[in-house]
Structure 1
Amino acid sequence: MKTIQSIFNFYLNGSIHVALAVAALVKLTFLKFEILEDNTYVYFSFVGAIVAYNFVKYATISKLYHKRLTKSMTGIKILTGACLIVFVYFAFQVSIDTLMYMIPFISLTVLYTVPVFPNKKNLRSVAGIKIFIIGVTWTGITVLIPILYAEGNLGSDMIIEIIQRFLFIVVIMLPFEIRDLQYDNKELETIPQKIGITRTKVFGSILLVFFLSLTVFKDALSFTEILTTVLITIISLLFLWGTEKKQSEYFCSFWVESIPIMWLFILVLMQSLFG
């Protein structure tokens, strides 16, 4: 039993689960816009997410992860190094344009972690912007770049999808902000720190209303798109309101991070049922 738990913890702490969530959102974009490709960018984003998240989490060890630094750190370093090699391999498989599009988002990830600003600050320590940096980065990697990678231009439906994805990512980050209330410095001025837990949930609910409402403005609107968006809105809402300051160890790190994977599963299921 301990062996299974150790493997599961390594799966979470090594950022494999969150990387699957990133890859799921990339695949979701390709399926939504019926983009046929060989999954190279999906694999590219998966290994890139492992490298990026492990860099952010472990480059400067936070209180949140300090308790988890056990023998698994060696395995995480090996995993990250192997994924970096694979990431470089896939970098030669995608176009130069795709790599150029990624530069701003890679730069945000580095600036998020490395203290390059006055008083040795990084972007994560700048008051009030942490959650929005993550939203911009995830949106860029999972929607904007995949569309440009395959299509080369943006239509109105794609712009709506970009806005929706940003709103969705901000909402699913709110449970993490609530969880981290006991760890985050007050100077960060996160949303729960500024307005409290209940108002944070109300704020997230309002964002989900906008997220759902934007669907009706899409030109290529289908029953599958409507039903899928309604279902993932309900799921996100349930997890948002089910979040507490004191929660189980895996509530955010596994269940909330599974929401993008659930979204992909729902879309595939709806497409198979209704075409």
Structure 2
Amino acid sequence: MKFLIALYRSNFWVGLAAAALTYLSFGQEITLDYLLYTLFILTSTISAYNYMHWVKSLNNYREKKSLEEEDHPIDWASFSRAAFAGMLAFLLLFFLGSITLIYYLFPALLIALLYPLAFPHPNRAFSSLRMMPGLKLFLIAGSWSYLSFAIPYWMQGGVDTLFFGWEFLMRTLLVMGLTIPFDIRDLDKDKPSMRTVPQVFGKDNAIGLAILALFLYQIWTLMQFFFFGQAWFQSLAILLALEIGIRMIKNLKTNRSEFQVNFWIEAIPIILLIFSQIAALAFGNSYF
């Protein structure tokens, strides 16, 4: 159990989830560049989430200090992990050696850098991107979809704009469905001004919207089978994995610990990859 807790507290688990979604986007022909990019997503996600935790602890420390309250410790462990994973990410980017890739990555990297930072603003309701009402969910979902699908699609030379548009939209909805449970987890911590989904619609309705998002991706998976030539075993694997994800989200109706929410919801993309790999090994060609 301690090992599993360490996985999610170090943000390695969420990095693995992002890497799993990215790896699935590359299909069955895996090249060295595709592997390097997947590892880049793993390390950069670990770095970004640890950086956000460090900035949050720094802001809390400054706030407590200004109020002359007991010092709130700065999370230097997150800073160290962010720096180390960030160096690995830049090293992988160097090995990829693509200026064009850096150009495409820049918007997402800029969002990750600015997302937790506080800035002076006359309306204190949104003093950072994270605190801006209703924006948090779209920033997270859009960034994950862009990094885990749009860039891999470009790297593979994809030209089907219809498929790209639908997959990007449905991938964004899927990530939204996976993000809403964390807003439910933070319902008692988030400021009301953030206007998160559970704050606006209530806990039960938020769970329903998260389930709907995964269900819509199941429908899109069937559309890929019938209209875009996706292998039947691949479609079946995704449908089954998402069904497990739906049941996990339904279980949030009962209060769950922070560890349970973090570990099992972040595990859904990993389960998607595992099921897809098993299906490929059993009925087709493995990704490896």
Q: Do both share a fold (TM > 0.5)?
A: yes
Letter of the aligned partner of 2:279 in structure 1?
M
Bigger CA drift: 167-176 or 214-223?
214-223
Question: For 1:212 and 1:59, how far apart are their aligned partners in 2?
Answer: 37
Q: Which residue of 1 aligns with 2:30?
A: 36
**Aligned pairs, number:** 264
SS in structure 1 opposite 2:252? coil
User: How many Å apart are 1:233 and its aligned residue?
Assistant: 2.3
**In 1, Cα distance between the equivalents of 2:112 and 2:134?**
17
Kept in 1, the 8 Å contact 2:20–2:270? The answer is yes
Residue deviations 1:47-87 (CA, integer Å, cap 9, x gap): 10111111112212288xxxxx989x444333322212111
> AA paired with 1:130?
K
Deviations 1:13-48 (A, max 9, x none): 2211111111111111112xx343111101111110
When Rg is computed on C-alpha atoms for both structures, the one with the higher figure is: 2
Aligned to 2:54: 58
Secondary structure of 1:36 counterpart? coil
Root-mean-square deviation over aligned CA pairs: 2.4
1:1-275 equivalence runs, <5 A:
5=2, 7-31=3-27, 34-38=28-32, 39-61=35-57, 73-94=75-96, 95-116=98-119, 118-119=121-122, 121-151=127-157, 153-218=159-224, 219-244=228-253, 246-275=255-284
Task: Give the TM-score taking structure 2 as reference length.
Answer: 0.83
Unmatched 5+ residue regions in structure 1?
64-68
CA contact (8 A) 1:10 1:76 kept: no
Residue identity opposite 2:142 in structure 1: V
Q: Secondary structure at the match of 2:274?
A: helix
In 1, the alpha carbon distance for the partners of 2:158 and 2:235 equals 26
Q: For 2:29 and 2:197, locate their aligned partners in 1 and report how far apart those are by CA, in whole Å.
A: 36
Match of 1:66 in 2: none
- TM-score, normalised relative to structure 1: 0.87
Q: Which runs of 5+ in 2 are unaligned?
A: 61-71
Q: 1:152-191 deviations in whole A, cap 9, x for unaligned?
A: 6454333332222211111111111111101000111111
User: In the superposition, relative to structure 1, how do residues 152 and 270 fare at CA in structure 2: closer, same or farther (>3 Å)?
Assistant: closer
Amino acid paired to 1:27: Y
**Residues 35, 150 of structure 1: 8 Å contact kept:** no
* Helix, strand or coil at the partner of 1:123: coil
Native 8 Å contact 2:15 2:46 kept in 1: yes
Q: Retained in 1: the 8 A contact 2:238–2:275? A: no
Distance 2:53 2:254 in 1: 21
SS in 1 for 2:187: helix
Distance 1:254 1:209, change over 3 A: closer
